Structure 1
Amino acid sequence: MSNYINLIKLSVGSETYDDIVAWQSTKRAQTPDGLPRHVTRMWPKREAEILAGGSIYWVIKGVLTCRQRILRLDEYVGQDGIRRCAIVSDPELVRVQSALKRPFQGWRYLKPEDAPPDLPKGRESEEPLPVELNRALAEIGVL
């Protein structure tokens, strides 16, 4: 049994893996020290487990596509004065084997044993299967 936990999050507004890369390269999506961050309303209760080696897994258009190792959780207070959590990640996005995910609100915990494996070396640049084909293969039990 692993001593860490992952997060899973919908990448709202992203159509492709490259959209996440482009967004995270903007100043608005970065911490003052230049690392990618995702600001969320809720602070994870399982902070210690997340920081013990967890990643954030990104779902794009219903398909779990890639992950980033979580480096830290920063307090972020917006112009509205509300305290939020900035999930600060390693800049490296790691492609994972595609897995279908239904829409959900916010983020969820993802156990390491339930997370899809990283794509093998040399396959990271492969284009993911089209969503419709991926869904059809999952329905017949191939994925």
Structure 2
Amino acid sequence: MDKIHLVKLCVGAESIDDLLHWQASGRSVSSDGMPRHVTRMWPKQETALLNGGSIFWVIKGIILARQPILRLEEVVREDGISRCGIVLDRNVVQTRPAPRRPFQGWRYLKPEDAPADLPTSRANEGKLPAELDAALAEIGVL
């Protein structure tokens, strides 16, 4: 069975810590308290996405992290419109920085095009300024 990922801009976040802080605030959680991202469109490749897919977060123009996708759930808000809730694992995995141009919504990301996870030995290293991270990723150093 095939696997596919999603890539999504993490609007308003300056760092992975901002993403974690927003998710810890509980403003968007599933019925069982897991973090979720609500989007207008339901992924057509649902089966492949739920076969080990992750959402890769683009922060300040760079993919920096991913979260495994646990399930999709229907979300109906006050306006009565049905949306897709992408329920995520609480574990945020840092990835090798990979530059990504701006886009709207989310996009599919093939596993072979996804940045690799950072080795756990590097996950606790001090973070570089976002501009330096972007420049290094752009020239392929990171």
Q: Corresponding residue for 1:6?
A: 5
Tell me the SS of whatever aligns to 2:52.
Answer: coil
Structure 1 residue 23 corresponds to structure 2 residue 25 = no
One-letter identity of the residue aligned with 1:83: S
Cα distance, 1:121 vs structure 2: 1.6
Query: Displacement, 1:127?
Result: 3.7
Q: Is the 8 A contact 1:98 1:128 kept in 2?
A: no
**Unaligned segments of structure 1, at least 5 residues:** none
1:68-83 paired onto structure 2 within 5 Å: 68-83=67-82
Q: Residue 52 of structure 2 corresponds to which residue in structure 1?
A: 53
CA separation in 2, counterparts of 1:13 and 1:63?
13
Distance 1:21 1:63 in 2: 17
Change (3 A) 1:141 1:89: closer
In structure 1, what is the Cα distance between the partners aligned to 2:109 and 2:127? 21
Say which is worse superposed, 89-98 or 116-125, in terms of deviation. 116-125
Identity among equivalent pairs (%): 60
Tell me: CA distance 1:138–1:91, structure 2 relative to 1, closer, same or farther (3 Å).
Answer: closer
Cα distance in structure 1, aligned partners of 2:18 and 2:137: 25
Gaps of 5+ in 2: none
Q: Which amino acid aligns with 1:108?
A: R
Identify the residue that residue 125 of structure 1 maps to in structure 2: 124
Taking structure 1 as reference, are residues 138 and 48 closer, same or farther at Cα in structure 2, changes over 3 Å only?
A: same
Offset, 1:141: 4.2
Alignment match, 1:88: 87
3-state SS in 2 of match to 1:123: coil
TM-score under structure 1 length normalisation:
0.92
Change (3 A) 1:50 1:98: same
Deviation at 1:135, TM superposition (A): 3.4
SS in 2 for 1:28: coil
Q: Distance in 2 between matches of 1:117 and 1:75?
A: 30
Report the RMSD for the aligned CA atoms in angstroms: 1.5
Q: CA deviation at 1:139?
A: 4.3
Aligned partners of 2:6 and 2:53 also within 8 Å: yes
The TM-score with structure 2 as length reference comes to 0.93
Residues 1:25 and 1:11: Cα distance change in structure 2 (over 3 Å): same
Tell me how far apart the structure 2 counterparts of residues 92 and 109 of structure 1 sit (CA, whole Å).
Answer: 21
Distance 1:138 1:25 in 2: 28
